Structure 1
Amino acid sequence: MVRIGKIVATHGLQGAIILKHIAGSGNWLKKDDVLFIELRKESYIPHFVLQAKTANDEEYIVNVEDVDTVEAAKKLIGKQVYVKEDILAEAVTDSPLLWIGFNLVDVNKGTIGQIEDVVQAGPQWLAKLTIEGKEVLVPLVEQMLVDVNMRNKYIRIDLPEGLIDVYLQ
């Protein structure tokens, strides 16, 4: 599963929610798709989409099954939302969200580790890895990316000297 965004508000009186997402523009969310909402840490509860309409490039107004009041919708505000990779793969082919689970390979050091998550910090994406028990954030900037291999699920990157070492000290 891929973390796509979070619920930021309610909309109207019928239990609609506003999903702020990081998948870019496009109509990737459809009726009958499944959103997995993290109600508690690592508990991904499926919610079937009854209706989804684009509010702007970053937000959807969504009605999900079994949430039909403002009170029920308010309980979801602030919760992280995940989708299965295939929902995004059809709509977004170059999103760093699809790189979760890929191996990160430096051109000089070789395999660094597996990308556990990607986060967006302003206009920049960061890959989150765990190396020697420590969380490491690696910038995924175009100048450093050498190759993204979707078939074999690895990213070859040319990291600046000492970037990883800063985290491990």
Structure 2
Amino acid sequence: MKKEDCFYLGKIVKKYSFKGEVLAKLDTDQPELYENLDAIFLELRNNLVPFFVERSQLHKSELLRLKFEEVDTEADADSIMKSNLFLPLELLPKLEGNKFYFHEVINFTIEDVNYGKVGIIKAINDSTAQALFEIDRNGTEILIPMNDEFIVKVDRKTKTILVETPEGLIDLYLQ
């Protein structure tokens, strides 16, 4: 399984018991969807390694308490501490309307209500206070905040996102 075929679910943050149980902080608004998993991929030395789940349960709402097969001691748990957790993309719940996953809209076209075709989404920058669409317009990078008020429509059939940005925002990049 390759990383690009998976989505980031969370990270193992601490040990829970001396019997190899760990707590994972999940990166999701719906942790209950991931309470009864059979297996999870752990990122170990830049490789995704499947681990089979013996049991799991939600712990204090956003943490998932996990017991993996063959992780039976504190030392075993130490060996997987701080590992990132991944699941195959097909396990992501389907989103509808104007909601989308970041990976899903890469290579979508951005069109502005007033400006017309802006360009192609090459990446999403979520390292800033507000996530940004990174758009390529014939070699020029344009950044548009991923603000719900700007997003008019997400059209999955035509792979287009229609936005209405403040006047002059796009022009800033083209002068």
Equivalent residues in 2 for 1:3-152, closer than 5 Å: 3-41=8-46, 43-89=47-93, 98-102=101-105, 103=108, 105-107=110-112, 108-115=116-123, 119=126, 126=131, 139-150=145-156
Identity over aligned residues, as a percent?
Answer: 20
Q: For 2:119, give the aligned amino acid.
A: T
SS of 1:66 mapped into structure 2: coil
Q: Normalised by the size of structure 2, how large is the TM-score?
A: 0.68
Task: Show structure 1 runs of 4+ deviating over 6 A.
Answer: none
Secondary structure class of the residue paired with 2:101: helix
Q: How many residues align?
A: 160
The gaps in structure 2 that reach 5 residues or longer are 1-5
SS at match of 1:75: helix
1:43-85 deviations in whole A, cap 9, x for unaligned? 1111122211111332111112222211111222222211123
Does the 8 Å contact 2:109/2:159 carry over to 1? no
Structure 1 Cα separation of the partners of residues 100 and 86 of structure 2: 11
**CA-based RMSD:** 3.6
Equivalent residues of 1:106, 1:112 under 8 A apart: no
User: CA separation in 1, counterparts of 2:172 and 2:65?
Assistant: 40
Q: Tell me how far apart the structure 2 counterparts of residues 119 and 158 of structure 1 sit (CA, whole Å).
A: 20
Kindly provide the CA deviation profile for residues 116-142 of structure 1, in whole angstroms up to 9, marking residues without a partner as x: x674877x5x2575856x8x9764321
Look at both structures and tell me which one has the larger radius of gyration over its CA atoms: 2
Deviations along 1:4-54, whole A, 9 cap, x unmatched?
Answer: 21111111111111111121134111444321111123x111112221111
Cα gap change, 1:40 to 1:59, in 2 (>3 Å): same
- Provide the rounded CA distance (Å) in 2 between the counterparts of 1:151 and 1:120: 29
Distance in 2, Cα, partners of 1:163 & 1:61: 50
